[in-house]
Amino acid sequence: METVLSIKGLTKNFGRLCAVNQMNLEVKQGQVFGMLGPNGSGKTTTLGMLMGVVNPTAGEFSWFGEAPTSGIRKKIGAVLEHPIFYPYLSGQKNLELNAMIKECPASNIANVLDLVELTARRDDKYKTYSLGMKQRLAIASALLNEPTVLILDEPTNGLDPMGIAEIRELIKKIAANGKTIILASHLLDEVQKVCTHFAVLKKGNLVHTGPVDDVGKGAETVEVQADVPNLSDMLLDFSGTASVNRENGYFQVTLRDDFHSKDLNRFLFDKGVVANHLVTKKKSLEKMFLEILSEAH
């Protein structure tokens, strides 16, 4: 798969504060790549460097295998923090202005409005739009010159649940059309819902990177219930059990590496116990994220 972005040793210091420390990262074509981290972890600074608005202290990065130039940056659309639109102009007029500034054909406006589902409201003044609609217009504007990559900084910040759901659906739709997306978020849930790959940042340090699908790998937790009085002891007797907790009326059994729920099921069956509830719980991104952050000290 083609490498869209390659980052090597990228560093940004603000005085004595190191906002981004020796970051190495690769983003491949077609990925929805999440930069996950708490406030102040360096996400916006990283995106700023990638967009050429923040000067790196050290390190380098390339887009499509080439050093970043203004020509290359035309292939990248970005919605960073607060986009500026004219409140008294319509969505359509605002996009016409942006199309002029970006020197791209006005004929693209109808397509992007359609994609973000604002065609019906295109002639209404920007100031009458909901926050979700404003964000969708910002995304439409970023897509005007048909970029290959779309960068979004905290795309659902401040939106209501409906607006959040719409933006997440839109991101998936844009990704399905073949664009590579890089987004910053402090929401685990968001990254899990929309991203294919992610990196975790803590105080400017990249502490994990990998596919979102991998999140479920590692130690399995199995939720078990069976009508026997000494179930807890039996579960502890199983050689693959790392720990047993009681939660929500079930036993939560954390298995050792290389043990799976089917091994536990067979063990119980061999003891004459038929579980009436045995569900494999994948390790959540949240748990992993918290683990990664606590390990990073």
Ligand X SMILES: Nc1ncnc2c1ncn2[C@@H]1O[C@H](COP(=O)(O)OP(=O)(O)OP(=O)(O)O)[C@@H](O)[C@H]1O
Q: List residues binding ligand X (CB under 6 A).
A: 14, 17, 19, 37, 39-45, 186
**Nearest approach, Cβ of residue 45 and ligand X (Å):** 3
**Nearest approach, Cβ of residue 10 and ligand X (Å):** 12
**Nearest approach, Cβ of residue 14 and ligand X (Å):** 3
**Nearest approach, Cβ of residue 86 and ligand X (Å):** 26
216's tokens? 């479920």
Q: Pseudo-torsion of CA 28, 189, 137, 3, nearest 10°? A: 0
Cβ neighbors of 1 (< 8 A, separation 6 or more) are 28, 29, 30
CA distance 91 to 276: 57
**Nearest approach, Cβ of residue 38 and ligand X (Å):** 7
User: Is the Cβ of residue 42 or residue 155 nearer to ligand X in the bound state?
Assistant: 42
User: Is the Cβ of residue 40 or residue 52 nearer to ligand X in the bound state?
Assistant: 40
Task: Spell 84-110 as b/e; 16+ CB within 10 A means b.
Answer: ebeeeebbbbbbeebbeebeeeeebbe
User: Is the Cβ of residue 19 or residue 175 nearer to ligand X in the bound state?
Assistant: 19
User: Is the Cβ of residue 80 or residue 99 nearer to ligand X in the bound state?
Assistant: 80
CA distance 32 to 169: 13
Task: Spell 27-54 as b/e; 16+ CB within 10 A means b.
Answer: beeebbbbbbbeeebbbbbbbbbbeeeb
Task: Transcribe 182-247 into DSSP letters.
Answer: EEEES-HHHHHHH-SEEEEEETTEEEEEEEGGGGG-SS-EEEEE-S-TTHHHHHHHSTTEEEEEEE
**Nearest approach, Cβ of residue 82 and ligand X (Å):** 12
User: Is the Cβ of residue 81 or residue 169 nearer to ligand X in the bound state?
Assistant: 81
**Nearest approach, Cβ of residue 206 and ligand X (Å):** 12
140's tokens? 């439409």
Q: How many CA atoms lie within 13 A of 101 on its CB side?
A: 10
User: Is the Cβ of residue 80 or residue 116 nearer to ligand X in the bound state?
Assistant: 80
User: Is the Cβ of residue 37 or residue 163 nearer to ligand X in the bound state?
Assistant: 37
**Nearest approach, Cβ of residue 279 and ligand X (Å):** 36
User: Is the Cβ of residue 43 or residue 197 nearer to ligand X in the bound state?
Assistant: 43
Within 39-160, residue ranges assigned H as helices are: 43-50, 70-73, 91-101, 108-115, 131-143
